Structure 1
Amino acid sequence: MPKIVILTGAGISAESGLGTFRDVDGLWTRYDLNDVATPEGFARNPALVHDFYNARRDNCRGAAPNAAHAALARLETGLASGEVLVVTQNIDDLHERAGSRAVWHMHGELACALCAACGARWDAPAATRPEDPCPACGAPTTRPDVVWFGEMPYLMDEIFEALTDCDLFVSIGTSGEVYPAAGFVRVASDAGAETLELNLEASANVLDFDQQRQGKATDIVPAWVAEVLGG
């Protein structure tokens, strides 16, 4: 199992132009989250939900990994194989495009579509529609492969196992308000790991960490990685 587990949130992608829930003029402000990020909203108006995620997919395609993403990829390459795991709350693919290989998307991926009938997953086209047939079962039950409010995040058993086996847990760009991710630091700490928060400002659970550093992700993440790699 990996010895460094890194949790990333919206803050690491914000400098790539991908907005967070809290941006005052971002994409999220034009929609009610109950309409586009819940199973109930999808049931009411699947076309609206598809339009929303099509816009997010387009926005993601126009974004590029930033220095923080690149630094984490460099960390994975610079340490022994299998020692670094990125667990991300983000549904973009910027970690992968930066070169990270061990990335677990606990909230799903914009790049994938999901069949609500049989559970099949496939690479999403640029635009999806509610009537798109599932390539596995043929049912017109296509939905974005993202975890909505009220749904269980992916890979939770594997994530908790990694947290209890790591030596260092690092949280980057997260609010510390959304569970279960906000509880990861205590799981790792209780298992004996050191904990570090790298964030633009103190999170809601900052006091749960052994160490904290604040600043822009593109500044503090590369600086921390350089320290770990010895310069």
Structure 2
Amino acid sequence: MARIVILTGAGLSAESGLGTFRDKDGLWTKYDLEDVATPEGFARDPGLVTGFYNARRANLLAAAPNAAHLALAELEAAMPGEVRIVTQNIDNLHERAGSRAVWHMHGELMRALCQACGAKWDAPAEMRVADACPSCGKAATRPDVVWFGEYPYHMEEIWDAIRAAELFVAIGTSGQVFPAAAFVQDASRAGAETLELNLERSEVSHDFEETRQGPATEIVPAWVAEMLGC
């Protein structure tokens, strides 16, 4: 079991040019989440939802991992088997930076899901409502992302990892969305040290033993350097 569990949120990828959700210029100020991030919204207008995620996918394909992603990959490489990343992000910037021990609790933008048979596969750059599932042939495909009202992925493994960790770190997350907002309390109860690295204090900063504020591309590499004794 990993000794260090790291939760990452939208603030980690913001400096790569990917939009965050809950700041004053965030994605949810431009779209109604009921329309583009719920099963009901997809049922009402699958074309709108598919187009929204196609645009996000194009944004992701044009982006690159930043210094924070690269630092976390360096930490994992230097401490094999001891670092586990749990990300709320649906981008693949952790993997492109070199991280391998990653759980995407909200799914992956670059993957597709069949609502009919549950098959998953690599999504094309542009998905279409009429796309057929490569397994069952039905036109029942959607982005493999967890929408509001759906249960996040890997939760049993995530809770086990958090409760066994010696150090829990949250990076670039607002602390407003459950179940992730409760991770720090669970880690603390299990005896882990807790650290928050964020642009500013979050809704749950008071639950952490230590908090550090600043851009992710500055404070994450600095923390990793400390951990590696650089």
Where on the TM-score scale, by shorter chain, does this alignment land: which range?
A: over 0.9
Residues 1-231 of structure 1 aligned to structure 2 (within 5 Å): 1-25=1-25, 27-79=27-79, 81-231=80-230
TM-score by length of 1: 0.97
Deviation at 1:22, TM superposition (A): 2.7
SS of residue paired to 2:133: coil
Deviations 1:53-77 (A, max 9, x none): 0000000000110000000000001
The CA deviation string for residues 158-212 of structure 1, in whole angstroms up to 9 with x for no partner, is 0000001110000000001100000001111111100000000000000110111
The CA deviation at 1:122 is 0.2
Structure 2 distance, partners of 1:23, 1:175, is 9
What stretches of structure 2 of length at least 5 have no aligned partner?
none
Instruction: Report the Cα offset of residue 29 of structure 1.
Output: 3.3
CA distance in 1, matches of 2:24, 2:177: 19
Aligned residues with identical type, % of pairs: 72
Question: Quick one: structure 1 residues 121 and 13, their matched pair in 2 at CA, closer, same or farther if it must change by over 3 Å?
Answer: same
Give the deviation of 1:82 after TM superposition: 0.8
Letter in 1 for 2:129: P
Distance change (3 Å), C-alpha of 1:48 and 1:185: same
Q: Could you tell me how far apart the structure 1 residues matched to 2:61 and 2:51 are?
A: 15
SS in 2 for 1:111: strand
Matched residue of 1:183: which SS?
helix
The total of aligned residue pairs comes to 230
Q: How far 1:130 moved relative to its partner?
A: 1.6
Q: Which amino acid aligns with 2:57?
A: R
Measure how far apart 1:104 and its partner are. 0.5
- In 1, the alpha carbon distance for the partners of 2:28 and 2:63 equals 17
Deviation at 1:10, TM superposition (A): 0.2
Q: Aligned AA for 2:60?
A: C
| Residue identity matched to 2:182 | G
Structure 1's unaligned 5+ residue stretches are none
Counterpart CA distance in 2 for 1:187 and 1:169 is 10
Alignment partners' CA distance in 2, 1:11 and 1:26: 11
2:188 partner SS: helix
> For residues 25 and 205 of structure 1, do their structure 2 counterparts lie closer, same or farther at Cα, with a shift above 3 Å needed?
closer
Query: Structure 2: how far apart are the matches of 1:26 and 1:176?
Result: 16
CA RMSD of aligned residues (A): 1.0
Letter of the structure 1 residue corresponding to residue 188 of structure 2:
S
